[in-house]
C-alpha cells in the first residue's frame, strides 16, 4: 500500500458486548493492523500488523510480538483449532501472489505448513483451512482510518 508521506493511519480495536450492544475501544495505534482474534479463554487478542503477529492482553496497551519462525508475511489469522495452536495464512514469497496455511503453536514458535502454496488475487483469494469460531458473548473487530 503506497500512501502520501503526510498520511497518518490510525487503527482501533473495539469490542462489542453482544447482548447490550455496548462498544468499547480497547486499543488504538497510529499504524495499520487487522485481523483481530479473541483468544478462546478471553484473556488476550491476536493482531496482525505489517506481516507480523502480536498478542495484546486484555487491559494492556502494548503489543507483544509473537515468534512465527519463517512466517514473516502473515496476512490472516484463520482460527484456533485447539487450545495449543492457531492457524495462520502467510505469503512465503516477496511478491504477495502466493499464500499458504500454517499451524503455529499458540505461544509462538515454528509454523508447520498444512496447505501448498497457491496463487491468490485479493483478500477473497487467501486460502483458509477451516474457520473456527470462539464461543462467548462478545466479538472483536478492527478499523483503520487514514488522515491527511
Q: Give the predicted TM-score (pTM) of the model.
A: 0.72
- Least reliable range by pLDDT among 8-22, 83-97, 123-137: 123-137
User: According to the model, what pLDDT value does residue 39 have?
Assistant: 85
Q: What is the mean pLDDT of residues 94-123?
A: 76
- All cell numbers assigned to 141: 473487530
Domains and CATH numbers, the chain: 8-134 (2.120.10.30)
pLDDT band at 110 (very low <50, low <70, confident <90, very high): very high
Overall average pLDDT of the 40-48 stretch? 89
Residues 5-9 have a mean pLDDT of 77
* Cα 76 from Cα 12, distance rounded (Å): 17
Bridge-based pairing state of the strands 118-119 and 112-113: unpaired
Q: Is-contact 35 142, C-beta < 8 A?
A: yes
On average, the pLDDT of the chain sits at 76
Question: Of residues 5 and 74, which shows the higher confidence score?
Answer: 74
% of the chain residues with pLDDT over 90 = 30
Amino acid at each position: 500500500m503506497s500512501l502520501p508521506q503526510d498520511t497518518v493511519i490510525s487503527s482501533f480495536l473495539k469490542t462489542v458486548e453482544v447482548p447490550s450492544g455496548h462498544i468499547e475501544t480497547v486499543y488504538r495505534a497510529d499504524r495499520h493492523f487487522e485481523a483481530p482474534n479473541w483468544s478462546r479463554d478471553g484473556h488476550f487478542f491476536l493482531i496482525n500488523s505489517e506481516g507480523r503477529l502480536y498478542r495484546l492482553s486484555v487491559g494492556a496497551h502494548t503489543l507483544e510480538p509473537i515468534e512465527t519462525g519463517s512466517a514473516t508475511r502473515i496476512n490472516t489469522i484463520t482460527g484456533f483449532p485447539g487450545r495449543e495452536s492457531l492457524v495462520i495464512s502467510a505469503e512465503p514469497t516477496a511478491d504477495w501472489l502466493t499464500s499458504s496455511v500454517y499451524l503455529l503453536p499458540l505461544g509462538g514458535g515454528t509454523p508447520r505448513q498444512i496447505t501448498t502454496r497457491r496463487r491468490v488475487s485479493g483478500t477473497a483469494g487467501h486460502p483458509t483451512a477451516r474457520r473456527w469460531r470462539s464461543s462467548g458473548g462478545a466479538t472483536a473487530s478492527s478499523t483503520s482510518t487514514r488522515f491527511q
